[in-house]
Amino acid sequence: MAQQQYQVLARKWRPQQFDEVVGQDHVATTLKNAIEQQRLAHAYLFVGPRGTGKTSIARIFAKALNCVKGPTVKPCNKCDNCREIAEGRSLDVLEIDGASNNGVEQVRELRDTVRYAPAHSKFKIYIIDEVHMLSTQAFNALLKTLEEPPPHVKFLFATTEPQKVLPTILSRCQRFDLRRIPANLIVKRLQAVAKDEKVKIDGAALLAIARGAEGGLRDAESALDQLIAFCGDEIAEKDVLAVFGLVAHKQLTTLTNAIIDGETNAALKVLKELDEAGKDLQRLLAELLDHFRNLLVVTLGPTDVGLELPETELDLLRAQAQRIDSDAVLRVIDALAATEGKLRYALSKRILFEIAVVKAIKAREAVSLDALLKKLNELKGAGVVAAVPAATGLTPSRARSVSAAETAVATTLVSLSDAWAYAVEHLGKVTPLAKTYLVGARPLRMQGDVVVIGFDPEFAERREFVDNARNRELLQSKLSEKLRMSVSLKFEIAEGAAEPPSTHSASAPKAPAAAPLKPAANGFATTGAGKNLEEFRNDPLIKKALEVFKGTIVEVRK
């Protein structure tokens, strides 16, 4: 008696009905409705990552059309037509590999056979996998047939790279985009497979397989198949990590928590352990980016929007979202993403990765200008300013003036010189000659919303070459953009030697005339109230700001 041949899990568990397709309900529902309403197109294109069900759906669709009960949304899987299609030996359903049959001669042969009626089915169906591999000549040979095929012919195309398919082909097809399958659905399917195969596997191991599959169910089933061969009928997370070089979920959690909480040493320790264990750092970085992307979604709104994750993973994200805001998550993502491309070619991946993590932690701790001003305003609204009169003996209105001046001192803002350099640089891209005439020009001061630009006397004649409507409009636009306020421009001849420009901001509260900022004898900026360094340190508003933003007072000398 011949021994029954073993069938791999990916083939054994290939869906045979639309309702068995995992994670592609939008495609299955549309195709079923098209069959029920008899609105069948002549060409369909299935697009998506590997292992997400493109050819499986094409086969189910072919069975639905050619089943003896068809067209039907539930092929019987018992008639000769259904069995032949499932086994890949139907004379009327031809599966063609676009990678190996990509020449114009093969397509011409296909085109010649199209005119013949199906042998014993309703439709002659051509399933072309990896259709993007066809040559341009082959595509062109297919165009006319694809546009006006005989009524008994259907084309079903599948591809992972739709951008390589000619637009003239795309325009003749109904396109369906398949999504990466969510991890929770992969875990659910693997649980069913393991139960049927009488294999005991824990939840952490299933999640590790789902993470490694990156949205491809076929990859996940193949991985489970390999693990059963390696481990037998009992599989743990450590087995998955050992076979596929993945990072334990616990270690990934420790690393993300360290980044969120600003614990640099803890983060570097985890990286050291993973590197010494031979883990794939490129893959770890991708997992980190994916985790923080999910965390960003949670920080922005309800956790059930756009996320289909196991409940344990959602609980972790919710807990982390309590300790970080969306702006900080975005800065962490930027820091990590900037390293992703470099890591592939780095000689020392660990060092580059460590730098990326340190940058991410620093970026997470950074405070944006808008957040800083908002927080200071909240402090004022909460009554911190009210405490200033009692501590200093100032009237409430005078205290607010001093507080505004202190805010301007404490906040790092864009200076006029930076904004001017930015505007001149952009002018140079449009009018290079005009930029050369501005070599001797510099910002002198702001008068309300007017930026005064001065030309040194030795370059006075250059003003007339620059001061025209076009240049003025562009410079004003870029200055306004950088200073975050609408400004106009005034050119004049500067008197005396060049001096550093004044520093102003569009966002900072302006100190009133009663308490202008001026350098004190000890080198510290003070208000008209005559505050010295010690008074600044003891000021309730400054103390609160330093506490909130983990700042320090530093001495700046001219």
Question: What contacts 540, CB < 8 A, 6 or more positions away?
Answer: 384, 387, 388, 391
Assign 3-class secondary structure to 532-555: CHHHHHHCHHHHHHHHHHCCCCCC
Phi-psi map region of 499: left, alpha, beta (phi>0 left; psi -120 to 50 alpha): beta
Mean pLDDT of the chain: 78
Question: What token pair was written down for 273?
Answer: 């352990």
Contact 81/120 with Cβ under 8 angstroms? yes
Q: Give the span between the Cα atoms of 186 and 201, in whole angstroms.
A: 14
Residue 547 binned pLDDT confidence (cut-offs 50, 70, 90): low
Percent of the chain at pLDDT > 90 equals: 15
CATH number of 249-365: 1.20.272.10
Angle at CA 194, nearest 5°, toward 191 and 200? 100
Contact assessment for residue 518 and residue 525, using Cβ atoms and an 8 Å cutoff: yes
CB 45 within 8 Å of CB 159: yes
R_g (Cα) of the chain, nearest Å: 34
Cβ atoms of 20 and 193 within 8 Å: the answer is no
Exposed/middle/buried for residue 7 (C-beta within 10 Å: 0-12, 13-18, 19+)? exposed
Q: What are phi and psi of 87, to 5 degrees?
A: -90, 0
Q: What is the pLDDT of residues 405-441, one digit of tens each?
A: 444 433 333 467 888 888 888 888 888 888 888 877 8
- Give the pair of three-digit tokens for residue 214: 């990156």
Q: What's the rounded Cα separation, in Å, for the pair 256 and 372?
A: 25
pLDDT digits (tens, 9 = 90+) for 392-401: 344 444 444 4
Q: Where in the chain is the domain with CATH 1.10.8.60?
A: 183-244
Is the CATH code 2.30.110.10 the one for domain 416-493? no
Residue found under tokens 């499932």: 86
The pLDDT of residue 543 is above 60: yes
Average pLDDT (300-328) is: 79
Q: What is the pLDDT of residue 528?
A: 39
DSSP 3-state assignment of 126? strand
176: which 2 tokens?
Answer: 């369906």
Q: Residue 212, SS3?
A: helix
Please tell me the distance from the alpha carbon of residue 505 to that of residue 246, in angstroms, as a whole number.
49
Could you tell me where in the chain the CATH 3.30.300.180 domains are found? 416-493
Sign of the dihedral through C-alpha 61, 67, 71, 74: negative
Residues of the chain with CATH 3.40.50.300: 9-177
Q: Could you read off the pLDDT of 178-234 as tens digits, one per residue?
A: 998 888 889 999 999 999 889 898 888 888 888 888 888 998 999 898 888 888 888
Cis (ω within 30 of 0) for the bond into 182?
no
Averaged pLDDT for residues 303-318: 74
Which residue would you say has higher pLDDT here, 465 or 501?
465
Whether the pLDDT of residue 88 is over 90: the answer is: no
Question: Which is more confidently placed, 386 or 554?
Answer: 554
| The amino acid at 292 | F
Contact 422, 473 (CB under 8 A): no
Q: How far apart are CA 374 and CA 355, in angstroms?
A: 31
Homologous superfamily of 9-177: P-loop containing nucleotide triphosphate hydrolases (3.40.50.300)
Q: How many other C-beta atoms lie within 10 A of the C-beta of residue 80?
A: 11
Identify the DSSP state of 101: S
Mean pLDDT of 18-45: 91
Examine the pLDDT at 346 and tell me if it is beyond 50. Answer: yes
Peptide bond connecting 150 to the previous residue in cis, omega within 30 degrees of 0: no
pLDDT for 144 equals: 79
Where are the strands (E) in 132-245, listed by range? Answer: 153-159, 174-177, 200-201, 234-235
Which of the listed CATH numbers 3.20.20.140, 3.40.50.720, 2.120.10.90, 1.10.8.60 matches domain 183-244?
Answer: 1.10.8.60
Q: What amino acid is encoded at 444 in this protein?
A: L
